[in-house]
Amino acid sequence: MTEIESLSQADAANELMRLAKQIAYHSKRYHAEDAPEIDDADYDALVRRNNELEAAFPALIRADSPNSQVGAAVEASPLAKVTHAQRMMSLDNAFAAEDVEEFAARVRRFLNLSADAVIAMTAEDKIDGLSCSLRYEKGKLVQAATRGDGSVGEDVTANVRHIADIPQELGEEAFGFPEVFEVRGEVYMAKEDFAALNERLLNEGRALADQRGQEFDPATVRQFANPRNAAAGSLRQKDANVTASRPLRFLAHGWGEVSMLPADTQFGVMNAIMKAGIPVSPELKRFESVAEVLAHYAEIERRRADLDYDIDGVVYKVDSLAWQARLGFVAKAPRWAIAHKFPAERAQTTLEAIDIQVGRTGKLTPVGRLVPVTVGGVVVSNVTLHNRDEIGRLGVRPGDRVVIQRAGDVIPQVVENLTRDEARAPYLFPDHCPVEFGGCGSEAVAEEGEVDVRCTGGLICPAQKFERLRHFVSRGALDIEGLGEKSIEEFLRLGWLDKGPADIFRLKSHRAELLGREGWKEKSVDNLFAAIEAKRSPDAARLLFGLGIRHVGAVTARDLLKGLGDIARLPEKAAEIHAYLEANPQGEGESDGKYTTRKVEAFKAILEVRADGIGPAVAEALADFFHEPHNRDLWDDLLSEVSPPPYVVETRESEVSGMTVVFTGKLETMSRDEAKAQAEALGAKAAGSVSAKTDLVVAGPGAGSKLKQASALGIRVIDEAEWAAIVAAAG
| CATH number of 430's domain | 2.40.50.140
228 & 278 share domain: yes
Q: Specify the pLDDT at position 408.
A: 47
**What is the per-residue DSSP string for 382-439?**
EEE--SHHHHHHHT--TT-EEEEE--TTSPPEEEEETTTTSS-PPP---SB--GGGT-
Rounded Cα gap, residues 281 and 273, in angstroms: 11
336 & 351 share domain: no
385 & 327 share domain: no
Of the listed ranges 218-232, 432-446, 616-630, 686-700, the one predicted with least confidence: 218-232
97 & 246 share domain: yes
**If phi over 0 gives left and psi between -120 and 50 gives alpha, with beta otherwise, what is residue 441?**
left
pLDDT cut 70: percent of the chain above it:
89
Number of domains into which the chain is organized = 5
Q: Specify the pLDDT at position 590.
A: 40
Rounded Cα gap, residues 95 and 29, in angstroms: 23
Judged on CB neighbours under 10 Å (0-12, 13-18, 19+), 178 is middle
Domain with 315 in it: what CATH number? 3.30.470.30
Q: Specify the pLDDT at position 636.
A: 93
HSE at residue 316, side-chain half, CA atoms within 13 A, is 31
- The residue out of 639, 670, 703 marking a domain boundary is 639
Do the domain assignments include residue 80? no
The C-alpha torsion from 280 through 286 and 292 to 293, rounded to 10°, is 40
Domain with 37 in it: what CATH number? 1.10.287.610
Do the domain assignments include residue 389? yes
Answer with the residue of higher pLDDT: 139 or 46: 139
Do the domain assignments include residue 522? no
583 closest CA partner among 570, 568, 564, 598: 598
Q: Specify the pLDDT at position 588.
A: 44
Q: How confident is the model at residue 76 (pLDDT cuts 50, 70, 90)?
A: very low
Cβ(121)–Cβ(318) below 8 Å: yes
Rounded Cα gap, residues 50 and 29, in angstroms: 19
Rounded Cα gap, residues 513 and 517, in angstroms: 7
Do the domain assignments include residue 512? no
Q: How confident is the model at residue 291 (pLDDT cuts 50, 70, 90)?
A: very high
Rounded Cα gap, residues 137 and 35, in angstroms: 34
| Mean pLDDT in residue range 69-98 | 77
| Mean pLDDT in residue range 434-455 | 82
Q: What's the pTM value of the predicted model, to 2 decimals?
A: 0.48
Do the domain assignments include residue 496? no
320 & 172 share domain: yes
Identify the three-state secondary structure at position 2.
Answer: coil
Question: What is the CA 395 to chain-centroid distance, rounded?
Answer: 22
Annotate 629-678 with three-state secondary structure: HHHHHHHHHHHCCCCCCCCCCCCCCCCCCCCEEEEECCCCCCCHHHHHHH
Is residue 190 scored above 80 in pLDDT?
A: yes
The total of other beta-carbon atoms located within 10 Å of residue 355's CB is 14
188 & 219 share domain: yes
Identify the three-state secondary structure at position 126.
Answer: strand
- The residue out of 341, 357, 378 marking a domain boundary is 341
Q: Specify the pLDDT at position 727.
A: 86
Q: How confident is the model at residue 214 (pLDDT cuts 50, 70, 90)?
A: low
HSE at residue 256, side-chain half, CA atoms within 13 A, is 27
Is residue 609 scored above 90 in pLDDT?
A: no
Opening angle at CA 554, ends 548 and 557, nearest 5: 80
Q: Specify the pLDDT at position 473.
A: 92
Is residue 57 scored above 80 in pLDDT?
A: no
Q: Specify the pLDDT at position 224.
A: 78
697 & 559 share domain: no
222 & 362 share domain: no
Of the segments 3-7, 47-51, 265-269, which one has the largest average pLDDT value?
Answer: 265-269
| Mean pLDDT in residue range 707-718 | 89
Do the domain assignments include residue 686? yes
Is residue 504 scored above 90 in pLDDT?
A: yes
Q: Specify the pLDDT at position 30.
A: 64
Q: Specify the pLDDT at position 368.
A: 94
Is residue 549 scored above 50 in pLDDT?
A: yes
326 & 355 share domain: no
Do the domain assignments include residue 264? yes
255 & 311 share domain: yes
**What is the per-residue DSSP string for 318-377?**
ESBHHHHHHH-B-SSSBTTEEEEEPPTTEEEEEEEEEEEEE-TTSBEEEEEEEEEEEETT
C-alpha dist (Å) from residue 453 to 167, 346, 564: 58, 29, 30
Rounded Cα gap, residues 177 and 507, in angstroms: 80
251 & 359 share domain: no
| Mean pLDDT in residue range 702-721 | 87
**Mean pLDDT across the chain, nearest whole number?**
84
Answer with the residue of higher pLDDT: 11 or 233: 233
Active site residues: 126
| Mean pLDDT in residue range 29-47 | 65
| Mean pLDDT in residue range 37-61 | 73
The total of other beta-carbon atoms located within 10 Å of residue 653's CB is 10
Sign, CA dihedral 274-279-281-283, equals positive
The total of other beta-carbon atoms located within 10 Å of residue 519's CB is 9
| Mean pLDDT in residue range 301-316 | 88
Q: Specify the pLDDT at position 323.
A: 96
163 & 304 share domain: yes
Beta strands in 71-179 (DSSP E): 81-83, 93-94, 121-127, 130-137, 140-146, 152-154
Question: What is the CA 15 to chain-centroid distance, rounded?
Answer: 33
Opening angle at CA 386, ends 381 and 390, nearest 5: 110
- The residue out of 341, 356, 380 marking a domain boundary is 341
pLDDT in tens, 474-501: 888 899 988 988 899 899 889 999 888 9
Q: Residue 33 is part of which domain span?
A: 4-69
The dihedrals phi and psi of 704, each to the nearest 5 degrees, come to -120, -110
Is residue 691 scored above 80 in pLDDT?
A: yes
Q: Specify the pLDDT at position 462.
A: 81
Is residue 220 scored above 80 in pLDDT?
A: no
Neighbouring residues of 664: CB distance < 8 A, sequence distance ≥ 6: 690, 697, 698, 699, 700, 703, 704, 706, 707
Do the domain assignments include residue 216? yes
Domain with 722 in it: what CATH number? 3.40.50.10190
C-alpha dist (Å) from residue 268 to 119, 139, 251, 292, 427: 16, 19, 16, 19, 51
Of the listed ranges 107-121, 556-570, 589-603, 687-701, the one predicted with least confidence: 589-603
HSE at residue 386, side-chain half, CA atoms within 13 A, is 12
